[in-house]
Structure 1
């Protein structure tokens, strides 16, 4: 069965400052799980080692699975507290693969547990293979975990369906943070791009710190992503084991660990990225995907801030084509299905089959009507002349499409929603612009997300001015999105227009326009995958 890769590569370094070195010291590095080295792992549930050295905790053969992998040797909790050497529980790259029909779920965790066996009575799904309804929150569990949760569970007061949390004896995290945005970084467990996580426990200070960064950024941020007080000296178990738990619920999901480095009384050695095993490859045709193909391939909505990153990348690309290259390039067919995404969700503008190149400051001399219905500026119907402003108009439609998760024309929608631009403008006029946001993104947004959503929608509407001369240039669009230019101009709602309203009163044109719209199952949505 074909799979779409929804990956999060998480580099975790956990340093626990407990006490002086003794005969209990442990030091290992798994650059993949190969050969005799895996005899030191206790694997339970559906977990297994793949032929190429991946630790697969769950698979897609069935629902409601639980998988565990723990290092066989314990570290005793009775190590005296401390001087200042440390216990580094590991550097682990992890990833998950989900079936193309599924949403992302449920999650995985790095666990400190008094048992290395299948945790008795633990349930899959929202319980992450760690607890069940009866023992959730029981202090005698003696379990501390850092959860990477991709499903929101209201009964545990989860903040959203994309967060990192610290759990102590239960799944109501003592502290958690959404991973979609932190500082100036774009992050998501569903984003398909690598993250780094550092987890530090100090026995002297009784604190557990979790620090998160994008792998691309490289260096460690100055402050922790989240922090809480934890006292492992109060654990009643004689020994503690470290390892992983992962589970599934309704949705078919494979969770993988690529490598793991561990050391007591010191820093864990770095992993060798060149030796890490290769993840299962999606189908060849999905290695370079456009937004239209993605919605057919999966039903997972990528976190909005990842969509925002793609919008900004395409805006920068159009700006470069219009102003920065040696010649001006008009794309003439800017639309979602011409946006290509790589494995790290970097957006690139593709399909230049209709594009035209001309000298800066000269007339492009294009008079033949080209483009795609729903993205075409109103003046194209009258003149057939493509300009930078017509590209800007199409980009405005694209921006609305990204936020709303639907095509610009949907003949199956309620009458007031058939035309996306009209619907967004009407909601803005009524002071409820966020009503148009793709429901697959949820409704409990962070304030920062709400600000960015409204920004993209308003900039998109500015690009849709019926008067070409009143539309912003792509340079201004990029500055608006980066908040270099502020305040944002008011959207002239009375000046908005789209093809169906400017094509005259002929019903034939309207019918042709609606019949040209793609079927509902081809609605373009940004979705996760690699």
Structure 2
């Protein structure tokens, strides 16, 4: 009995040790990728004027006349060169084959560069800026780059028009090397293979060049440089190039990249084979009196044992109840889903968003806040939508999840997974590198508009295609109810991807959907939906009409006059120009006349027909899609815009209904709407 009492605390300690195990070590991984050719855009993003053709990436425009151009290609996944718990920086090596050619021999400049940067959207100005820096903000972009320069630019202290150099946060190279010295001409049009090696221990960067695929023994450029300050944590790698009034063409044929020596982000336990000299030996305990000491130790452990056992039971009970509640909530969520994407753990999403840090916020939607997430174990980047309220948001969460999970269309934002833990609801989407149409459409830079006319027209076509699918091709019709430019995302190639289904509702075809509460965003709401709260496919058509007018005009649905404080409704403004025969004046002036006139006229008239106050006169989305593809005749739009009136003879204009506020309220009185 005494023997048992003396061993009880030991047993409890063993149980506690087994229960609270040490967490596994997190080991970082080296990065390796190889593109023998570029058969697709998988894992890479093209920015600016860069494009893919026949397995080769062109970083600048291919024109027979001089032009200014700038383009970038970036590997989509961030590279881990170090981690927060280690001062060690990984070494890296990259090899690529490129060519620089001129359609016009007397036209030259400016070259290309390999870069490492913390920004996955880096795109600089044309000209001598190599597509790396902005001409007006020379210190904005951060990078480590090796330039292959084909123009002598005195502003950056270039030695000649045929050199390579190491650049850090500036185009003033730390060190340069003359390429002609080894018999290579960067502008020859011949294929040139480059190797760039960085040894973190030796703090040395070397660049090798050759017309053949054999790496030379001696480097062309060798620089003693410590890059540890610039390669902390995650970085992106890629290439950029630029021209300025020239026909220089920059082609990338293949590319491989590797990192070496990425260390574990947690220190390992000391090894067991410790040498005898390092062990401190204690003198042996005398035998006399040892029995009394053992007895006192037994009494102490006998008293402490039950206390520790109670603590253990309390902790075990707390953890069990918490897990039971979590399982119950998960079962509740899963019961509402017939099929669904992957279920993420809260721990995964928290780690991928750096604890939902403010620096990872990329937007806000009806459902909640959207964060950029890096999943290092998967090597992917995603967007995580985090609900504002756990209980209030559950209905919207389930609506979005149950709808998106069963939809498949190239113009939808793909849903990758979900999570319902810690009292929170989260959705994981594929990350859209170009953000929303709203952000890009109204964004201007020193290079001009980011959203050129071909992109705008393509967005209108893509959006029409996916709405046709939702309205008429799904087993159950889907009414989105919140179509607006901020809910239309853009992938790497500026293709439209419709998202944010938090307000969508499923319904059987041929049944009238009724909502007791008007939802959506002011400026995009159809008059009859705003009045009655009935969401139909025709209310989605109205919102689509407003969106394509935005694309064509570059103006928000409700905007201030150029002079004065009066608010102007976009639909009314375009219709007024149409009635005066000045429809062409509605096209976005920021395009500087660079657009297809027929396409612009088609979009404007189609936008007006979709935004017709009379829902019966609006075309279906299938009809809209056919018109945009030239498969159907355009809808005739009356010169004078139909107006709305009510049974109590109160005149009502769409401009009176729509305001610039973000919320809406259900009217206290219901009126019959008539079109006169």
TM-score normalised by L of structure 2: 0.38
TM-score, normalization by structure 1: 0.48
Kindly indicate whether structure 1 or structure 2 has the higher relative contact order, using CA contacts under 8 Å at least 6 residues apart. 1
